[in-house]
Structure 1
């Protein structure tokens, strides 16, 4: 984990999580609309962006990427009160580092993968115990299951 700037990865993931909440869109859609170039800009400019509030940075990037408002209210849909965006940002950052190391991919691609995994969205929304998400192994297993589910769908055609 030392070769990665955990603080900057967590910040980037937190900004994406804020965009999910202010734009009322699923994480996968926000990742797609934001694109890897903007994720790159958030990550590599994190030291500068820290001068702004999380909400301000999320607004700046959602406007830059022309992200529209949706009707998906993650907070309302969740069975229990979800963790705040910064706490989830730390969780997603650990998962992104895990993915980057396991798949031997760039950290930007790994962050994009974290937010594109619909299993994570579904599990988080339907969880009755959000504290489970603080366990790295639990989150990794959700990610792996999503990957396996996607591969099974592809192979079944």
Structure 2
């Protein structure tokens, strides 16, 4: 481990932030992005995140949008936000922490946990920037995720 956290956690953080960036750019729910890109390519992005992280995120997102024919949606949570909007990096960190908890505590591979989390009810709550759920502690989010409702 170099730095403050495991390399794998930082790689996951990058992939989650990229998903958020593409979702904002295309105005789609984040599970639309994960489904369009698919497990195999998400695994590839995760495996080579340290390389992709040095690329321009606009260029990389444009390439993925084109490659996977991600169409413009009508979900614009940034424009709908009434308060300060968290950055794509902020939301990437929220997802990374939740996915790490799911993967480690439920003995799942990181990309399997990623796909599951983005397809969950909690992802829709995290996407609502007018709520404060994305500010909650990682433990609270994980426990809520496990019981299937906000505690």
Q: 1:37, 1:82 → 2: CA distance? A: 31
Q: 1:73, 1:143 → 2: CA distance? A: 24
How many pairs does the alignment contain? 147
Q: Which runs of 4+ in 1 moved over 3 A?
A: 1-4, 126-131
Aligned equivalent of 1:152: none
1:17 to 16, 20, 25: 20
Give the SS at the match of 1:82. Answer: coil
Aligned equivalent of 2:141: 139
Greater Cα shift, 100-109 or 1-10: 1-10
What root-mean-square deviation, in Å, do the aligned CA atoms of Structure 1 and Structure 2 show?
Answer: 2.5
Contact 1:79 1:125 in 2 (8 A): no
TM-superposed CA distance for 1:3, in Å, is 6.7
Q: CA offsets, 1:44-77, max 9 Å, x none? A: 1112112212222222222221111111102123
Matched, 1:129 2:141: no
Matched, 1:56 2:39: no
State how 1:3-42 maps to structure 2 within 5 Å. 5-42=8-45
1:115 to 113, 118, 121: 118
Contact 1:31 1:115 in 2 (8 A): yes
Q: CA offsets, 1:10-63, max 9 Å, x none? A: 001000010110010111211111111121121111121122122222222222
TM-score by length of 2: 0.83
1:72 to 72, 75, 82: 75
Contact 1:19 1:58 in 2 (8 A): yes
TM-score by length of 1: 0.80
TM-superposed CA distance for 1:103, in Å, is 2.0
Q: 1:44, 1:123 → 2: CA distance? A: 25
2:94 to 91, 94, 119: 91
* Structure 1 unmatched runs, 5+: 150-157
Contact 2:78 2:129 in 1 (8 A): no
